[in-house]
């Protein structure tokens, strides 16, 4: 019996690569092998591409977008804009149009939010621009308590059904089923790390086969106990996520970079100086799809949609217009002469005035600036 099993995987020798590939596919019962030069099966040009909508991040990624079939790990301390960055990307993916397929008949961008941390806010998501009609929300209910294993099973189903972006918020909240029944303080160690390793192996296998979704893990930072040398902090979930993630982005914010504006007070009878967001420094520690640049990027993350005393309206999520201005200025698309800034017919004295013009400009103007940053002047 063992001999018959061994002979099953023995092929005639001396075949050319095309014939050998066809024989292997027949043997395996499906297309698992092809010549890289003459097939669409493994051609990266046919992999889904997802612009994030955050110009500095798209430029930073090296490919101008996220590639489908990848794991994205964003991590940082609390209040550093991780979830709002994810929702901003989700809102942009929902606005994209794709070729209709068997798993996506409408060709619209769809998003799933696995809310293990109970952090999803409908009002905040709407303020960022997320369309609830294109969003699937998963969370525990009194009828069904979802464990970490359940969330990984859901990931497998969503990947096979071609959902474009799947957000898992967050990794520390993925509780292994064994911990639900264990007495606190007496459970086995490293159960979550083991669950993450096994779950990500399964997720990676599905992503490798279907190559459509972006699985976006929101992660947190923890201090390492009793560390004498080397880094004193790390993100949660063990080492598996570091390995399987194609993109690993750390976000940091500093109190000195808080965004404070004169906005309407709670009584509605005047204005007050209030913190409406933070300045985020994002560092890409890992990128499997392009070369990692040496420096970091910075962008503003706003906590609310508000109009300040000067009449400038700010929208929750990543400040797209300020990000476009700063990135285009850095790349030389927007020209600066002393305190004057110019691009095309838009010329303004002062950074704030130019950004205000961008906010009021048609979307085609912002898209044109974006194309010039990523692809050069036409």
CB atoms within 10 A of CB 4: 7
| pLDDT band of 358, cuts 50, 70, 90 | very high
Residue among 150, 148, 151, 108 nearest 131 (CA) = 108
The span from the CA of 377 to the CA of 305, in Å, is: 33
Average pLDDT over residues 43-71: 89
List strand residue ranges (DSSP E) for the chain, in order: 49-50, 66-67, 70-76, 111-115, 135-138, 165-169, 214-223, 233-235, 247-264, 271-287, 297-302, 306-307, 313-314, 317-318, 335-337, 340-343, 346-349
75 and 251 Cβ atoms separated by less than 8 Å? yes
Which of 3-17, 257-271, 278-292 is predicted with the least confidence, judged by mean pLDDT?
Answer: 3-17
pLDDT, one tens digit per residue, over 234-278 is 888 889 999 999 999 999 987 778 999 999 998 888 999 999 999
Percentage of residues of the chain with pLDDT beyond 70: 93
CATH number of 319-378: 3.30.250.10
Q: What residue segments make up the domains of the chain, in order of their start?
A: 43-312, 319-378
Q: Which residues contact 237 (CB under 8 A, 6 or more apart)?
A: 171, 172, 174, 192, 193, 196, 217, 219
The upper half-sphere exposure of residue 48, i.e. CA atoms within 13 Å in the direction of its Cβ, equals: 27
Q: Rounded CA gap, 200 and 350, in Å?
A: 48
pLDDT at 11 over 70: no
40 with 23: CB under 8 angstroms?
no
Whole-number pLDDT of residue 16: 81
* Whether the model pTM is above 0.85: yes
pLDDT averaged over the chain?
A: 89
| Higher per-residue pLDDT: 106 or 193 | 193
Question: 327 near 321, Cβ under 8 Å?
Answer: no
Ramachandran category for residue 169: left, alpha or beta (phi over 0 → left; psi -120 to 50 → alpha): beta
pLDDT band at 40 (very low <50, low <70, confident <90, very high): low
305 or 5, greater pLDDT: 305
Nearest alpha-carbon partner for 104 in 114, 96, 113, 92: 96
pLDDT at 25: 84
So what's the pLDDT on residue 138? 97
Nearest of 308, 311, 323, 316 to residue 358 by alpha carbon:
323
Q: Which two tokens stand for residue 179?
A: 């911990």
Which pLDDT belongs to residue 292?
Answer: 73
Contacts 24+ apart (CB under 8 A), 334-338: 334/369
CA atoms within 13 A on the CB side of 356: 12
CATH number at 43-312: 3.40.50.300
CB 314 within 8 A of CB 336: no
């Amino acid at each position: 019996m063992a001999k018959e099993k061994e002979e099953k995987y023995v092929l005639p020798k001396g075949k050319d690569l095309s014939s050998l590939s066809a024989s292997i596919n027949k043997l395996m019962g499906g297309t698992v092998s092809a010549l890289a030069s003459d097939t669409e099966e493994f051609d990266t040009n046919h992999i889904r591409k997802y612009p994030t909508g955050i110009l500095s991040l798209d430029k930073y990624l090296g490919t101008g977008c996220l590639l489908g079939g990848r794991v994205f790990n964003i991590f940082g301390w609390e209040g550093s804009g991780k979830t709002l960055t994810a929702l901003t990307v989700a809102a942009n993916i929902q606005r994209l149009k794709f070729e209709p397929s068997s798993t996506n008949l409408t060709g619209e961008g769809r998003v799933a939010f696995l809310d293990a941390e109970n952090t999803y806010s409908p009002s905040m998501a709407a303020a960022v621009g997320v369309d609830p009609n294109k969003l699937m929300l998963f969370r525990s209910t009194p009828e069904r308590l979802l464990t970490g294993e359940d969330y990984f099973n859901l990931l497998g189903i969503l990947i096979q059904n071609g959902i474009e972006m799947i957000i898992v918020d967050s990794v520390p909240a993925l509780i292994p089923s064994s911990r639900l029944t264990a007495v606190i303080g007496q459970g086995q160690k490293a159960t979550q790390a083991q669950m993450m390793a096994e779950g990500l192996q399964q997720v990676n296998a599905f992503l490798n086969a279907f190559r459509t979704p972006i699985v976006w893990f929101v992660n947190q930072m923890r201090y390492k106990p009793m560390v004498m040398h080397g880094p004193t902090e790390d993100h949660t979930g063990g080492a598996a996520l570091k390995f399987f993630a194609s993109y690993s982005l750390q976000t940091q914010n500093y109190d000195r970079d808080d965004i404070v504006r004169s906005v309407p007070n709670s009584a509605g009878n005047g204005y007050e100086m209030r913190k409406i967001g933070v300045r985020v420094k994002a560092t890409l520690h890992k990128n499997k799809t392009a070369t990692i640049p040496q420096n970091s990027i910075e962008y503003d993350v706003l906590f609310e949609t508000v109009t300040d005393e000067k009449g400038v309206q700010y929208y929750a999520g990543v400040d797209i217009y300020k990000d476009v201005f700063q990135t285009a200025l850095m790349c030389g698309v927007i020209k600066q002469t002393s305190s004057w800034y110019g691009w095309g017919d838009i010329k303004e004295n002062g950074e704030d005035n130019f950004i205000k013009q961008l906010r009021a400009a048609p979307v085609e103007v912002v898209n044109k600036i974006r194309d010039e940053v990523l692809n050069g002047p036409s």
